Structure 1
Amino acid sequence: MYQLYELHSAAWAPFLPWLQASASFLEAFENVPSAVPTRHLAAGFQLLVRLWKRYPKPQFGLAKTLIDGHRVAVSETVVLDKAFCRLLHFERATRHSQPVVLLVAPLSGHHATLLRDTVRVMLPDFDVFLTDWRDGREVPLAAGAFHLDDYVAYMREFIDYLGPDLHIVSICQSTVPVLAAVSLMASRGEPTPRSLTLIGGPVDAQREPTTVDELAVNKSLDWFEREMIDTVPAHYPGAGRRVCPGFRQRMAFMAMKADHHLRSHLNYYFDVAAGNTEAAQMHRSFYDEYNAVLDMAAEYYLDTVRVVFQECRLARGTWRVCGEHVRPGDIRASALITVEGEHDDICGPGQTRAAHDLCTGIEASRKHHLTARGCGHYGIFSGTRWRTEVYPRIRSLIYGYTPVPAAC
């Protein structure tokens, strides 16, 4: 399948520049009253380009932020460079002493740039570090395998690097390995982060199962290995690596909401033809990110299907990471914050909140839950409701567990 996908992309590649140039030429006639058919033709060419072009990893593009009314420069720095992940620091040119936050992006088919809005909103208030997962096809075979246990090990290393005074904010899939990493640290008697925020993740996928959960349970692991795993072609650095290709993930997600995506693309066609520039640009911005996907190491993908969804080991208390028993009940010093979306169709209501039942060692007064009314999955970490409703409450809670610096 991977080879066929590459051949298909290569076949379309020579035509895309011509289609784009033709669309730009035809758009020059958009103000001519008799040019309605021309505008529709230009819109059709643009839609074809967007349907068949390849989408590279986007840039974060966060060069500035606003702190106390002043514009402050932001630089993107790699502070730890691992085989499958880079730890990024969005360093701000300011002497403000603010809480350190480790923002953990999900490794579930999209790049960490999916959290661009999450980072942008947090930058004025926090010193933000972010996990930037590598595309599996870019990781040479010599780097070895990458399992779910390795993900947990990465989290422990990143926490050790940043120190125990940090706060963790994990999103979607990342909530499970993050909770495991903190649990293992607590079991060993090591200092744990001041607060742990889990946003829209499958801590217990048995609760209110969604279409995603039902697919994972209704198909065997052999089916996933047969249908979802392929080999990286020869012309990539990771040639020969077994992966779950990003394009397969994207196809699966789009198939679950085929009607929605079809309407969205048809609306884009009509918006371009009618000259609705703002609406067309919103479509482009969303799908530029949505269509930019990465390959996941096969062993990690299959581990996640089995451990998180099929066997629910974290929720059932049966998970062992490299032989160590994962016991969330051992966490005592960290505050727990969970966030769910009322209309989340990827992680159902209760799946993230389940962490409260597992973390029995945390006092009730240090446990907090937020259900974002009217929010779907992406709305709890990106977009208007994230900025105006969800984030202000998370910020207030995190600051409540941050020591006030002593006066000089």
Structure 2
Amino acid sequence: MRSMLSYDWMETLRNTNQWLGASARALGSYPVFSVMPNPALHWMQAWGEVTERSFERMIAKPDWNIDSITCEDGRDHVVQVDTVVQRAFGDLIHFNVVGREEQPRRILLVAPMSGHYATLLRSTVKSLITNCEVYITDWHNARDIPVSEGKFDVEDYTLYLVDFMREMGPDTHVIAVCQPAPLTLAATAYLAEDDPKAQPRTLTLIGGPIDPNATPTDVTDFGHRVTMGQLEHSMIQRVGFKYAGVGRKVYPGLLQLTSFMSMNADRHGQAFMDQITRVARGEASDHDAHNRFYDEYLAVMDMTAEFYLSTVERIFKNGEIAKNAFVVDGKKVDIGKITTVAVKTVEGEKDDISAPGQCIAALGLLTGLPDNKKASHVEPNAGHYGIFAGRSWRNNIRPLVLDFIDSNSGEAKPRAANQNAAAG
């Protein structure tokens, strides 16, 4: 019960700060105060506006906000977000560009489950959707999943990816970003042995911790420094009474956000002070740079306790993927069984989360794959975010990934499952 109370206490603090912001905003804009303008009241209104918005975003799932795109035919096309596979802990969704011929490149983006929603890859989706059929894993917030749905750990995550790849078929090109890279590699190896015909054509791993110990960072040091008991005691709580997942053990998104913010507290503090000043001067807008970034950054989701703990223990502490010793549902997954799927790794030179060396370690595990089906790229001067969503991705990495996909596409085959899905 204590952990449920602490979860509710965090939500109470968040709710209180949102209310304080709303109250300050309302009070500062009270009409009678305009008779005798006071800079302090004007600043209070600005503080309230920024505070209310910030704390409100923490429990809201962002929209994709991809309503239409201009395709290579020069026309604007409406984009529909269709659910292809619906599961308790995550869905497979498709960005269906209405009125456009089906594109030969079928891409499955595997989004990270690391505290943020899949919409963190919004700009990645936008950059690919113009000339690709884009699918993505849309993971659900654990606080909204009833306890009756059971557990969800790294093995369940891997099996979800296996099912999604089977659904999409062999003409698929998988791109895994950050956290899911090792589990996506394992899912591909699982298919290589269990259902070879369902393997994707290519697999691109971007900034993922295949071997976290290859080049240690603060993230890997933390994983080795704390014991699993300490981690469970300090990080795991039970969902409170407000949500459908009441009683489920989770690593709360609000706790994760606190960790994110504390890593660069001075920079975030200055960013909010600058935004309050801009609001007070009338220079801010709903979609300015600050709001575009923080509307996404502050929107966090809970992870199931078993997923968070098993990730730390099995991927970081024990290095099961790095040692090719990962087990799924009682079955050892042998990465060396991948013999036909072309694999490319992408790393950022200045990535301080998954440093260069961690991701390229995947190529050494692919003992059954010919060298001509292996590729790697290290992007100069790029940090973690830049290699999948920034200028480095748009200008350099995206073209390289698409070239890699095209050179390993072979002859595409029609899929009845996809035709049925499109008809539905």
Distance 1:279 1:207, change over 3 A: farther
- Residue 97 of structure 1, CA deviation: 3.2
- The two structures have a TM-score, normalised by structure 2, of 0.89
- Residue 227 of structure 1, CA deviation: 0.6
Aligned-partner SS, 1:106: coil
- Residue 11 of structure 1, CA deviation: 3.0
Contact 1:57 1:292 in 2 (8 A): yes
* Counterpart among 15, 25, 28 of residue 20 in structure 2: 15
1:74 matched to 2:79? The reply is yes
- Residue 364 of structure 1, CA deviation: 1.5
Q: Residue in 1 aligned with 2:161?
A: 155
Distance 1:374 1:35, change over 3 A: farther
Contact 2:239 2:248 in 1 (8 A): yes
* Counterpart among 93, 104, 107 of residue 98 in structure 1: 104
* Counterpart among 40, 43, 46 of residue 43 in structure 1: 46
Q: Residue in 1 aligned with 2:269?
A: 262
Q: Residue in 2 aligned with 1:388?
A: 395
- Residue 336 of structure 1, CA deviation: 0.7
1:239 matched to 2:246? The reply is yes
1:300 matched to 2:304? The reply is no
Q: Residue in 2 aligned with 1:175?
A: 181
Contact 2:54 2:295 in 1 (8 A): no
State the alpha-carbon separation in 1 of the partners of residues 67 and 148 from structure 2: 35
TM-superposition CA deviations, 1:43-63 (whole Å, max 9, x none): 333333245434300000111
The 4+ residue runs of structure 1 with deviation greater than 6 A are none
- The two structures have a TM-score, normalised by structure 1, of 0.92
After TM superposition, the structure 1 = structure 2 runs for residues 7-406 of structure 1, keeping only pairs within 5 Å, are 7-22=12-27, 39-55=42-58, 56-68=60-72, 69-93=74-98, 94-188=100-194, 190-191=196-197, 192-277=199-284, 281-403=288-410
**Amino acid of the structure 1 residue aligned with 2:116:** H
Distance 1:285 1:351, change over 3 A: same
Aligned residues: 402
State the alpha-carbon separation in 2 of the partners of residues 307 and 41 from structure 1: 48
**Amino acid of the structure 2 residue aligned with 1:232:** V
**Amino acid of the structure 1 residue aligned with 2:79:** V
- Residue 25 of structure 1, CA deviation: 6.6
**Amino acid of the structure 1 residue aligned with 2:269:** L
- Residue 405 of structure 1, CA deviation: 6.1
Using the TM superposition, name which of 181-190 and 206-215 deviates more.
181-190
> Structure 1: which 5+ runs fail to align?
none
Aligned-partner SS, 2:11: helix
RMSD: 2.3
Aligned-partner SS, 2:151: coil
TM-superposition CA deviations, 1:5-35 (whole Å, max 9, x none): 1222343444333333456679x98xxxx97
**Amino acid of the structure 2 residue aligned with 1:170:** A
State the alpha-carbon separation in 1 of the partners of residues 196 and 393 from structure 2: 33
TM-superposition CA deviations, 1:92-120 (whole Å, max 9, x none): 12124321111110111100110111111
Q: Percent of aligned pairs with the same residue?
A: 35
Contact 2:17 2:52 in 1 (8 A): no
- Residue 388 of structure 1, CA deviation: 1.6
Contact 1:379 1:385 in 2 (8 A): yes
Using the TM superposition, name which of 365-374 and 332-341 deviates more.
365-374
Contact 1:16 1:53 in 2 (8 A): no
Contact 2:18 2:51 in 1 (8 A): no
Aligned-partner SS, 2:78: strand
> Structure 2: which 5+ runs fail to align?
1-5, 414-424
- Residue 42 of structure 1, CA deviation: 3.6
Distance 1:95 1:47, change over 3 A: closer
Aligned-partner SS, 1:185: helix
Contact 2:22 2:48 in 1 (8 A): no
